[in-house]
Structure 1
Amino acid sequence: MPENPAITSSELGTLWLTYQEKTMILRMLDYFIEKADDDKAENIMNDLYGEIDQCVNKIAAILKREGAAVPIAFTEHDVHKEVPKLYDNGFDIMFVRLLKEISMALHSLNMTMSYREDIVLLYDELTDITQKYYHLCTQYLLEKGMIARPPYVNMPKAVGFVKDTNYLSGLQINPFTKRRTLNSIEVAHLYHIIDSNVLGMNMITGFAQCATKEEVRKYFIEGATLAKSIIKELSEILLDDNIHTPMSPGGNPTLSTVAPFSDKLMMYCTSLFCSFALGGNSLGTAFSMRNDLPVKMAAFMKDTLQYAHKGAKIMINNGWMEEPPQMEERNQL
């Protein structure tokens, strides 16, 4: 085996996707750093910027050595640092924290599809960076009182076993019986989905206020409505069991209508969040034992997938969707 074999199709694909995501994050950090009004938040974002920028350069160098075109992705043309603040009260660190959560899943998956040592080490480095800054963002938000903790529960004093199949039932067919209370695993996933959608709703509401194209503005308004419906329905499930719902004290959009980012970047960011939402809902479906919950989450997944597909069409029609590296069309050779 050569010391550095040629990269595989899966390695090329994951490097291409990682380059897209990381350059988007750099452009958004450009703006958030410029508008930061808290020294500690600014330092976190500045340090993160430096580490991500180094990894982006490493990916570009690998692609160049392999003779592959480096993607355009997102450049300084996709950010306008001089415009007024679009979000206030801790949104920057809340947003970075959620991006790091998305990145954790992506880097773990990408590493399982990589074989060449330098690429495996790259994802190892990105994983370390992601975990480090996820922790820093979480601690910052806790110190500032800008993050809601999930509800507490009394600790179990003994081990128990499910006694009958009614445990799985979430449909209240008999009016004289009550479906069982949610277990802690189900609450964890419901709470996480709601919390993510609250931030997503604030993000996309800001995007809707400043989008340049009317079709893009309408698309973002539709997305905010979808997020709101998910929050409402899942919050009702928690409230039925007297469980409080996530209440974030900050991270709201301002009244600004001037875009800090290009429509292309905002559409891509929304697409990334849709992919994250699909993954979160699928995990919630897999780990929920009360059968009404997977049904509801599957419906959300269907709506999210349709919304993402509509966004992809808008991006294609406007020439914003960069084409991933293609396999050879052997039939035409």
Structure 2
Amino acid sequence: MEHNAKLVSSEVAALWSAYMQNSMASCILQHFESVNEDQDCTEIIQSALTNCNYVVKEVKQFFEKENHAIPIGFTQEDVNLKAKRVYSDLFTLRYIKYMAAAGTAAAAALLEVLARNDVRELFSKTSQMFMQLYNDACDILLKKGAFIRSPTIPPMEKPEYLQDESFLSGLIGKHRPLTVIELAHISKNCETNSIGRTFITGFSQTAQVPEVRKFMERGTEIAAKHETVFREILIEDGVPLPSSWDSTISQSIDAPFSDKLMMFQVLSLTELSVTGYGTAIGTSLRKDLGGHYTRLVSEVMQYADDGIKLMIKNRWLEQPPQNVDREALRNRSS
């Protein structure tokens, strides 16, 4: 007997999220393609677009076959291909690198909760596609001398075990040197805030709704503050600071994206920040670092909560699939 399993909740969640993220990224990449002047970026932008459109198409087919409602997501109504340039071509390349890394990690992480073979095949292929895209973006950035590297440290002379608990340090006072694991997370989170600050600065000058512009301005301040926190930790430890991300933004106020798309992109960035900070908390043994991350997570979560309320107010936040409200069904005749 052939077992024809229906999609379970975790599979619906994975497919729905993939549709939302990739339909959004497709709109952003279409704008980047329309203003691109760097021949080195032409092919990789097209590859990134192909990847995103493939995922959107495949997810749509899954939902149609299983009689699930297809998400609204993001469409041509959310991108203005006639809008002037806001970001540089180098930022486009760095966005693709960042997007591809996030897509690879998300697809790989989701495999753990997927049962059906066809769904696993989709996300396995998606992970491979975005991993290749990431490597291609890295190669171009290295070629241009624009790859942002994490700090270097002297080689370790010999391995050894910890002798006492002083390695953990306290919340205040003198701290032991950063480990390479702690350095890696600080560098990554600094990078996340840098790309977020650049993105949101452009959003703040092109958003149409005044309340959205104000929300974006607040976001740039938070990202800059968090960058400063991480850089000060590196300075105190005597670690060479990594280069800053490209922050070249034009003076155009012509909106390439809808306010709905920009708000969703910001919420996606806050989600990645919270994930990055949470991972860093679990792997950072210095207590002062845990204190920093806990405080910063709280600020990001409050910002995200305010963003969600703003999207709901403007009817921009699409509701994910949810379980049946049994109580509402029972009370329908009351």
What TM-score do the two structures reach when normalised by structure 1? 0.95
Separation (CA, whole Å) in 2 of partners of 1:170 and 1:234:
18
Q: Secondary structure at the match of 1:189?
A: helix
Alignment pair present for 1:109 and 2:109? yes
Question: What residue identity is the alignment partner of 2:155?
Answer: M
Alignment of 1:1-333 (within 5 A): 2-173=2-173, 178-248=174-244, 250-333=246-329
CA RMSD of aligned residues (A): 1.3
CA contact (8 A) 1:194 1:246 kept: no
CA contact (8 A) 1:147 1:248 kept: no
- State the Cα distance separating 1:298 from its structure 2 match: 0.6
Identify which range, 283-292 or 161-170, moves more after superposition: 161-170
Runs of 4+ in 1 over 4 A off after TM superposition: none
Separation (CA, whole Å) in 2 of partners of 1:241 and 1:294:
16
Separation (CA, whole Å) in 2 of partners of 1:184 and 1:43:
35
**1:95-151 Cα deviation digits (max 9, x unpaired):** 111111221222122221211111010000110011001111111111112222112
CA contact (8 A) 2:90 2:246 kept: yes
Separation (CA, whole Å) in 2 of partners of 1:95 and 1:295:
30
Separation (CA, whole Å) in 1 of partners of 2:181 and 2:309:
37
Separation (CA, whole Å) in 2 of partners of 1:297 and 1:235:
14
CA contact (8 A) 2:51 2:130 kept: no
Q: Name the counterpart of 2:332.
A: none
Question: What residue identity is the alignment partner of 2:97?
Answer: R
Separation (CA, whole Å) in 2 of partners of 1:59 and 1:87:
30
Unaligned stretches of 5+ residues in structure 2:
330-334
Separation (CA, whole Å) in 1 of partners of 2:102 and 2:294:
20
1:249–1:263 CA distance, 2 compared to 1 (3 A): closer
Separation (CA, whole Å) in 1 of partners of 2:245 and 2:275:
26
Separation (CA, whole Å) in 2 of partners of 1:102 and 1:38:
24
- State the Cα distance separating 1:4 from its structure 2 match: 3.5
- State the Cα distance separating 1:207 from its structure 2 match: 0.4
What is the number of residues matched between the two proteins?
329
Unaligned stretches of 5+ residues in structure 1:
none
Separation (CA, whole Å) in 2 of partners of 1:41 and 1:205:
23
1:144–1:251 CA distance, 2 compared to 1 (3 A): farther
Separation (CA, whole Å) in 1 of partners of 2:101 and 2:26:
16
- State the Cα distance separating 1:256 from its structure 2 match: 1.2
CA contact (8 A) 1:104 1:130 kept: yes
CA contact (8 A) 2:277 2:297 kept: yes
Question: What residue identity is the alignment partner of 2:99?
Answer: L
Question: What residue identity is the alignment partner of 1:332?
Answer: A
Q: Relative CO higher for 1 or 2, CA cutoff 8 Å, sep ≥ 6?
A: 1
Q: Secondary structure at the match of 2:192?
A: helix
- State the Cα distance separating 1:258 from its structure 2 match: 1.1
Question: What residue identity is the alignment partner of 2:204?
Answer: A
**1:44-82 Cα deviation digits (max 9, x unpaired):** 010221232122111101100111111110000000111
- State the Cα distance separating 1:241 from its structure 2 match: 1.4
Q: Secondary structure at the match of 1:90?
A: helix
Question: What residue identity is the alignment partner of 1:222?
Answer: R
Separation (CA, whole Å) in 1 of partners of 2:245 and 2:113:
39
- State the Cα distance separating 1:276 from its structure 2 match: 0.3
